Copies of this chain bind each other. A is one copy, B any other.
Amino acid sequence: MPAANSQPRRARSGNRRDEAARLAVLHAADDLLVERGFGNLTVEAIARRAGVAKQTIYRWWPSKVEILLDTLIEDTEKRLPMLTERTTAESIRGYLLGFARFLTGDPAGKILLALIAEAQHDPGTAESLHKRYLGPRRDQERDMLVRAIDAGEVSPRLDPDATIDALVGPIVYRALTGSSIPSGLVDTLVADLLLPR
């Protein structure tokens, strides 16, 4: 067994999309958002930090928002799993606590907040955010809730979507206003809104 790969360096892409460049961009955007904030997040800075040409970014992403969405989607899948099994009030409480931790403690949570914010400034962002993130996620959450209702585990007074907004809204709002999210808040929301009176 001789030598083998003396200088690995970078694989240099050639004809195909360069996966290393893709990841470098996603990580650079994530890092810069956390370090410098969205207001200082520029495409040029991402390119600089990622060691990538600006054109490489524009070739694959129509805007920095889509970069963040890509990161957000990948990270959410890894770090904020949906409930797939039997759903109870208790497991929903666990999901909401996980979501609160995600929003306030995880870098990806900052991305979500930044995108919700940017969606207020730019209709294109709003559309992408709904189509690629909020919509699909909401579909899974609604499913989760409906399964619990059908099983008789919970009995909300509102339709499923309004119920989810009533549960998630306070968590998001406190995150947006920089407040912490005490577990007692989540407990009471679940108790008051989901359980029979």
Contact stretch, chosen from A18-26, A82-90, A114-122, A141-149: A114-122
The answer to whether A120 touches B113, judged by C-beta atoms less than 8 angstroms apart, is yes
Closest CB-CB distance, A191 to chain B, in whole Å? 7
**A120 CA / B192 CA spacing, docked (Å):** 30
Cβ contact within 8 Å between A185 and B162:
yes
User: Which of B114, B158, B168, B174 is within 8 Å of A165, CB to CB?
Assistant: B174
Establish whether residues B170 and A121, one from each chain, have CB atoms under 8 Å apart when the complex forms.
no
Interface residues of A in 143-191 (CB under 8 A from B): 157-158, 162, 165-166, 168-174, 176-179, 182, 184-185, 188-189, 191
In the assembled complex, A45 has its CB within 8 A of some CB on chain B: no
Query: CA–CA, A78 to B37, complex, Å?
Result: 34
Closest chain B residue to A193 by CB distance? B192
CB of A123 closer than 8 Å to a CB of B = yes
Q: Mark out the residues of chain A between 92 and 145 whose CB falls within 8 Å of any chain B CB in the assembled complex.
A: 113-114, 116-123, 126, 130, 134
Q: List 11 A-B contacts (CB under 8 A).
A: A116-B117, A116-B177, A117-B117, A117-B121, A118-B121, A126-B178, A130-B177, A162-B184, A169-B174, A192-B193, A192-B197
